[in-house]
Structure 1
Amino acid sequence: MDIISLRRANLRQAIDAKLKSEGFSSDAAFCEHYDLNPSHISQLVKGHGSFGERAARNLEKKVGWEPGFLDREELLDESKTQSDSNTSTSPTLDNNIDLSQKISLEGRPVPVISWVQAGAWTGIDCVPEGTEFEEWLPPNKDCGPRGYALVVKGLSMFPKFEPEDRIYVNPDIQTFDLQTDDLVIVSCAGDSEATFKKLIIEGGNKYLQPLNPDWPEQIIRLSEDCRLVGKVVGLYRKI
């Protein structure tokens, strides 16, 4: 193995060791801690950047490795020995969760309402006094102060949305704020329930389209007696 390839391999092994020993959640967290440029480090590891003598020594100095650390062939041998040992004693788990990205639960719980109610109401503040909700979802700031949730029915929005999924709806989105591909809830005169579809805007016309390519009715033109009930802003799925 040539010296450049050796440095790249050793750098990858050394970063992985730091992730485990110092609890960094990602390469980016490692770079931030040692004041390194994440893009530059990524290029060095992947072979897209120059990894000469000067670059190697500067990197070793910033991280606190001894001079020549990245040029040691025994690093790879030690790593292989450790890897073989770990394989024989316990499985290696991949770090596929970023614990630094935590979901905020601040705000009000969101009530789940029926599709009939969604077609009749303009927001939770219009709910008749005494109405009781059987289900509440965790807060979702994108719902707005009058938001609510609906239970997906049928397969028209499959595979992205499955039956029994819960969707968060913001009823305060204005029609002029909508764009093509937004997911919306619409109610039309004569229908007892609202419907959930993808919005398509072409010129001055608006259409609804299911996400399921096998759904029989692929394009539904919106008439003047249809109104926007709300925009879908989130998904809640039970597992």
Structure 2
Amino acid sequence: MRKDTARKIEAGAGKPPGWLDEDHGEDGNTSPALERTGRVPLISWVRAGEFASAADLLQPGDAYEWIDTSTPVRAHTFALRVEGDSMEPEFMAGTILVVEPDIAAQPGDYVIAKNGDQEATFKQLVRDGADLYLKPLNPRYPIKPLGDSTIVGVVRESVKRYR
């Protein structure tokens, strides 16, 4: 039954019989998947917009969910889910971000920042002269000075899930 199905697919795609039984390597619009290197805890959400409360009620080692990642995992790597639209179109609400707190942020990096009230936001870190700013990708939102806010971590990977 499986070979019959394969032959029908091959015929419908204009491929010779047995084509699906062979390894074709990279084929136009596909490439091998990135190797998964570890799992990180999805611990909370982050607001892509204004600063918002970032309370996390989980104990160390707990998670709402575990996220597979292809980025190197360190001791404190974690994941957050984006809410809001200030980082659209690149990062839609629901996108999962893999965040590394143990590397220094550089201008151009996507970062998670907290203000003095422990409220968090997700933005791109940019430099203008000697000053650093938190820049949304959506032009409807203002760029804000980094000021007294601290960088919690650098986004290393984004994961989009559709279903």
TM-score (norm 2): 0.71
Determine whether 1:182 maps to 2:96: no
Is 2:153 the counterpart of 1:226?
A: no
Q: Does 1:106 align with 2:29?
A: no
CA separation of 1:202 and 1:235: change in aligned 2, threshold 3 A: same
Query: Secondary structure of the equivalent of 1:186?
Result: strand
Q: Which residue identity lines up with residue 188 of structure 1 in the other structure? A: N
By percentage of residues, which structure has more strand?
2
1:119-130 map, 5 Å: 128-129=59-60
User: Higher helix share goes to which structure?
Assistant: 1
1:137-216 matches, cutoff 5 A: 137-175=67-105, 178-179=106-107, 181-190=108-117, 192-215=118-141
Q: How does 1:34-49 map to 2 (within 5 A)?
A: none
Q: Distance in 2 between matches of 1:143 and 1:167?
A: 13
Deviation at 1:161, TM superposition (A): 0.6
Deviations 1:46-97 (A, max 9, x none): xxxxxxxxxxxxxxxxxxxxxxxxxxxxxxxxxxxxxxxxxxxxxxxx7421
- Could you list the runs of 5+ residues in structure 1 that have no partner in the other structure? 1-16, 27-93, 119-126
| C-alpha distance after superposition, 1:148-184 (max 9, x if no partner) | 0001010000111111110110101124xx13x2111
| Rounded Cα–Cα distance in structure 1 between residues aligned with 2:73 and 2:155 | 8
Q: Distance in 1 between matches of 2:55 and 2:35?
A: 28
Larger radius of gyration: 1
Deviation of the 1:24 alpha carbon: 3.6
Aligned length, in residue pairs: 136
Q: Is the 8 A contact 1:142 1:170 kept in 2?
A: no
Amino acid at match of 1:183: Y
1:113, 1:133 within 8 Å by CA — same for their partners in 2?
yes
Aligned-residue Cα RMSD (Å) equals 2.7
Instruction: Give the secondary-structure state (helix, strand or coil) at the position aligned to 1:164.
Output: coil
Given the alignment, which residue of 114, 120, 136 partners 2:66? 136
Say if 1:142 and 1:117 are closer, same or farther in 2 by CA, change over 3 A.
Answer: farther
What is the aligned counterpart of 1:96 among 11, 18, 29? 29
Give me the whole-angstrom Cα distance separating, in 2, the residues matched to 1:232 and 1:210. 14
Question: Stretches of 4+ moved more than 6 A in 1?
Answer: none
Give the TM-score of the pair, scaled to structure 1.
Answer: 0.50
1:25 corresponds in structure 2 to 25
- The letter of the residue matching 2:35 is S
- Between 1 and 2, higher relative CO (CA 8 Å, sep ≥ 6) is seen in 2
Structure 2 alignment gaps of length 5 or more: 1-15, 47-53
